[in-house]
Structure 1
Amino acid sequence: MSEVRLNPHSKAISGVIQVPGDKSISHRAVILGSLAKGRTKVTHFLDGEDCMRTIHAFRALGVTIEKSDQTVLIQSDGFSSFIEPKEPLYFGNSGTTARLMLGILAGLPFFTTVYGDASLSKRPMNRVVSPLKQMGAYFDGRSEGDYLPISIRGGNLSPIKYTLPVKSAQVKSAILFAGLLTDGTTEVIEPTSTRDHTEIMLQAFGADVAKSDQHIKVTNKQQLTATDVFVPGDISSAAFFLVAAAIVPNSTLTLENVGLNKTRTGIIDVLKQMGGSVSINANEAIKTEPTGDITVDYSELTGITIGGDIIPRLIDELPIIALLATQAKGKTVIRDAGELRLKETDRIAAVVEGLSNLGARIEATEDGMIIHGQTPLKGGHVTSYDDHRIAMMAAISSLITKEDVVIDDTSSVAISYPGFFDDLNQVTS
């Protein structure tokens, strides 16, 4: 436990910062670098606990991975050289590691057991396990493999044509990764577009992958070839500071080299729709994923309704968007976000409780929340529930509260943003 007390902040925030590397892309860079033949160099890698779980998993499979600060070197002969792990694989709190690795392990001719911490052990895995079972993998675990720990007997998969029943890039990616280890063509159909980092990176590593409308197809025809990967700044991490600049009077803040993949930029769209002042300077030098510098100025905001197809593009940003909404005039409605209840904690309940403790007028709905603004926040105690995004939301709230904000535990912040409090101090000093 690491309780933190944050004093009220009475000044504008300003400056230029660079947020850590994108968590989703960092995971996928390690996965595909390990599946590829040759030497892959990953720069601006997210040096967080979740991404390290993926590195540890592939080391246990026999892949040589060296890491120095934010640079990762991967030397692999491809999946044909993988070995059966000698011990169960521990995924900590990383849902991304768990779901994506299940796709890999389903295709390997090994017996593997995987497990996680108490929080991850409560998160559903059947959305991934079910299609992988249809491909021929064998799983065993609580509720027929819906919860960790899970044992996998992989190999001898058959291709599948699968329509996603949930809006989940993790499910899509797990099936596509399994498809790399399957004879024939595996096809995923997503009715609503989700983040497409997997498809982009598959192409970069030379996979036989094709995308047409909402259909993504992959085969095992091509041996993946190692390539260098630059990981852009994580827009989910940037969101906390984008919101900070938007709600603290007279603030101006620039975040450099942030990923601007259109499947992830819902937070920018919401800021603009609410009347926020946002400008973007694109970085044309980085080709794989679009990146750029984002500058946000303080401005008066108006409440809006957030729902439908935009939700997958900002699902991880909804806790900090809820804080943003407390400072917007009028009512903000967040709907179609029932997935929030299946994150590290029930984020709908945690956000409503935390912001209510600070004086916000907010109520939970089955699939979202309603926030009534503009409301001054008084300060108070916030329980993070060991969820990094709840802890960081509470920390940003201290920039506009009248009294101290006390967060029960901030250790979870290391999962996605180890230097968060250093950057917070930088822009407020």
Structure 2
Amino acid sequence: MAENTEVVVIGGGYAGVMAANRLTQRDDVTVTLINPRRTFVERIRLHQLVGGSDDAVVDYAKILADRVRLTVDTVTRIDAAGRRLTLASGGTVDYDYLIYAVGSGSADPRVPGAAEHAYPLADLEEAERLRPVVAAAPASAAVSVVGAGPAGIETAAELAEAGRTVTLVCGGVLGPYLHPRGRRAVARRLAELGVTVLDGPDTQVTEVTREAVRLADGRELPSEVTIWTAGFGVPDLAAQSGLSTDALGRLRTDETLTSVDDPRIVAAGDSAAPSDLPFRLGCQSAVQLGPQATETVLSRIAGANPTPIDVGFAGQCLSLGRRSGVFQFARRNDVAISLYLGGRLGGKVKEFVCRSTVWQLAYEARKPGLRTWWVKDSKRGQLLRAKHGEVPDTADRAA
């Protein structure tokens, strides 16, 4: 009888769950998922947790294949040479192949006072800490949301719809990803909700105090609750373990998501930097990269050459309270176009996306490997040639 191959997935987010579920299509593969929490976090609903309309968690039993062994712990070191992981609990886990899907979180704000007086909002624990703070604040309390990406826009809208006095401090352009038409639609809805939007280069935050936010142009905004959504970072596990990472800390890989240091380590999701040309952080790329990371591992187990990744985008969807939203369409290479859906229809599309993303995870658990629906970005090859002079060599390396 053939010996089982031990594959360990670090991280139980969108990419990690997709990867772990797909691994179960082979009976001779033993799958372990290591995650610090017992429940799956819907990061795209964290603003709803803060606003009180959702708990943003799903039981792993609903989305994880029965054959996946869930270990609730945190990996503190990867010993690539020994193929062994050290856990925070003091234990160790050996592996034959490793899928690195640790995701992303809040970045160090590097702004005086932000770490002490602002509330980050990138993971479940941060959202759970912020929720009672918002609930306890008087209805008239000034709330500042720093950062004008999806998390900032959605949080500002959610709280304003609940009757809060909210200022959205952009530090630049409102919704940098959006096409100008989509941006105007978002701005109109925020104005309807009573959100004060401060954008432009002079709105960079220079200091946060207990009661105020100071801007580059000298303005001081009263702020009894300051929420920080500006920027994301990734855990430093790979770098601390001696693996090659990019400037943000993402694991450097080739176009098959294989680590440039070790053919037994494959990355997926926000923590992957394929060919030093990573994709936009978020669940849209994660649910595609997770199963494709698994296909690389399964190819190596079978002694075949893994296939280069294919990731395409449809756009960006934003909820603007519970009754409205914007779906910004984009080309497959992740460039926004003038077409968008707004209003109630945009809100319904956003809710459909949230629900369907969890459905995708559960579907992969039930029927691993059946769906290969990811769209292709024909422009990536051109970008790679422009960046590196030629398409990176994705030939298999001896394991």
| TM-score (normalizing by structure 1) | 0.30
| TM-score (normalizing by structure 2) | 0.32
Whichever structure has more helix as a proportion of its residues is 1
